[in-house]
Structure 1
Amino acid sequence: MTPPIAPHSAMMGPPRYRRGWVDDAVAAIEADQCRTADTHLIRLIVPALAGIDIYLKDESTHPTGSLKHRLARSLFLYALCNGHIREGTPVVEASSGSTAVSEAYFAQMIGVPFYAVMPRTTSAEKIAAITHYGGNCHLIDDGRFLYAEAAALAARLGGHYMDQFTFAERATDWRGNNNIAESIFNQLQGERCPLPEWIVMSAGTGGTSATIGRYLRYRRHPTRLCVADVEHSAFFDAFCKGDCAQTCERPSLIEGVGRPRCEPSFVPGVVDRMMKVPDAASIAAMNVLTRRLRRPVGGSTGTNFLALCRLAAQMREAGTTGSLVTLICDSGERYRQTYYEPQWLAARGLDPAPVEAVLTAFLDTGTPMGLDILDADNPCQMRGAA
């Protein structure tokens, strides 16, 4: 529960600015980057897809367990270096879970209060992780008011609203500085196909896809970027229609990805192709990959993997070879009571079994995958360059 709120000015007295404190905070965060930035790039061996190499960048190994660790680090450095966070400044974020976990970690590291404004439906595991790092959970009933409530709470506290959905695309140095794109290409240098045909990334804030897409252009790599969007989200329609005002009333069931609006950090101009993936297909791909890795992954990783397999199927049908890369966004341990719980799936009308069978057959034998068999009512859709 959120403790009684007192304005920052009442708690701390007049605002102070100690440059030495900021220097120490930046140094602490950069030390964390030196220890943890270069996560493993796993090659998934699939004999049936000879000539197509599949790689998984495992972001679940960060200290806070997800890709959002990178984003949180960048957001804190951005806010510190722009003078938004000073000694004792309360930090507020609007988050469905993973970003808040990572931001709570960094807030605790530099000694500032942290408040996460989240939907009441956020998983208990993520709430527990936030409180573990000393964060406060401010739960609201209607996710449509997430942004407004976060801004209002920051104003009441006299603090800083981090606003990941606006600043994700600009907080990370897309030219390099060991960002995730540079890390992927460095790790691929000794591989058979060091320049992948595609990198696949789902969209939450849009910040990671913006970083990858910009880096590809900056380095003049031929690699293309495919962004996988979930069933209930505004990104795919915004991309297809060229209209970032698109919205989606129904919230995404896949935590961490999909948004009711096209977020400011989403940069459609750096995306070569988008794919809309039904929720049941995301869960199916999550299950298939979990069995192949012999450890659980999350639902957004399933979204990524389904899109990657669709691209692999198209490459196989065209007789082309090369490599494909996607991300393991977080561990499936956070979703034991949701995506891995049959009763939870049944209550939401999700049956991953048919797509699991298709995907398993494709990976085991190379059997072609058809769009029409994924979901008769909501087929997997693609838009963009082939």
Structure 2
Amino acid sequence: MLLRLLIACLCVAAVTAAGARESPLKESPPTDPPRRETPRREPPLSALTLVGPARTVFKAGRDACDGHDVPDAPARAFREADGGIALFGMHYRNRAFRGRDFDSLKLDCRVVLDSAFKPEPEAFDDRSWIAATWTEDGRTVEALLHEEYHADDYGRCRTKGALACWYNAVLAARSPDGGRSFTRASPPTVVAAVPFRQEVEQGRHRGFFNPSNIFSDGRHRYFYASTTGWAGQPFGVCLFRSDDVSDPARWRAFDGRDFSARFPNPYLKGAKPTGSCAPVAPFPAPVGSVSRHRGTGAWIAVFQAAAGGVFPRPGIYWSTSRNLTTWDAPRLLIAGPTLYDDPCTSGGELVSYPSLVDPAAPGRNFDTVGDTATLFYVTLKTKGCEVTSDRDLVRRPVAVKVWP
């Protein structure tokens, strides 16, 4: 996905190389618009502990349907209408894992959403990943797409280098059949895009990208998305909220005081962005997933980070929050070089794309956790300074403790 080449933009160093209705939580009241506060560092709000070995869910050389089948995004799961499980997290030729439970998941070779490689940036249909899903009934599934437009592939880049003209957006798609096929609207439904067209501000990567899972406080739906920023918009991770996930036009970003910033399709006549979004610390880049702890109502986010600043070692981290904008000090869960680190010094393997899922979650969308959960993540083999397509989707059991 974007993460492989995003390293260059984030680290300023180029690297070469992709039923029942959901029930409101009763443990705590719905979240009101969060306030900007000084980040809380101590004491920690939670403890996550690995309590078992890694188990391989998918191995590219063994389980792939074709050469596009590599895990290339955080795992996103939902419970189908008949009680089965669908899980996404593959490449831009999108396929799903399916099974009666998480132990029986197998890759279904039907393509549920393909990438069209259209050369027109206004089509927003170059390469797309299913990055988040939400369903109320297991049949109609709303999705957020991470869409990449590679202007250098189509002669629309005035400068050199892939990142210099990379143009990203978060789009909406919908499935009427439990995630067995997804369709886009025409013109495309843009959830978040830069407020200018592709040819503007060339020379650096631009856009919104890598949305987290969609998660709920019982009243609203939320997701985080990253942006490298532009004039008037800082770099960082932004929080989006909606009161109706079935209407993609209702997503708004937190501007530091309220959810009022919006970033519509810049190619539509009359489309006007409003405001800018306020980056949320301590996330250095995309958020893997956010889960609400059923016992306390606290939020737990998992993500990856390179060493530096508040991150003493590279690896997969977690942080906890009471209000979605103020998070405690990140803590290391799995140590190891990530896609944000130099593959030349990785020792042969990277870890990336973390996502926390509780198979026992009562809702359809697995956006809550109890005192146990499963960490899904991807291991990627390197060869010299190259990140290869030899990668596995793995999972490990985790114990969760949150202090009231």
TM-score range, shorter chain: under 0.3
Q: Which has the higher contact order (CA 8 A, sep 6+)?
A: 2
Task: From the two aligned structures, give the one with the greater helix fraction.
Answer: 1
Larger radius of gyration: 1
Normalised by the length of structure 1, the TM-score is 0.23
Greater strand fraction, Structure 1 or Structure 2: 2
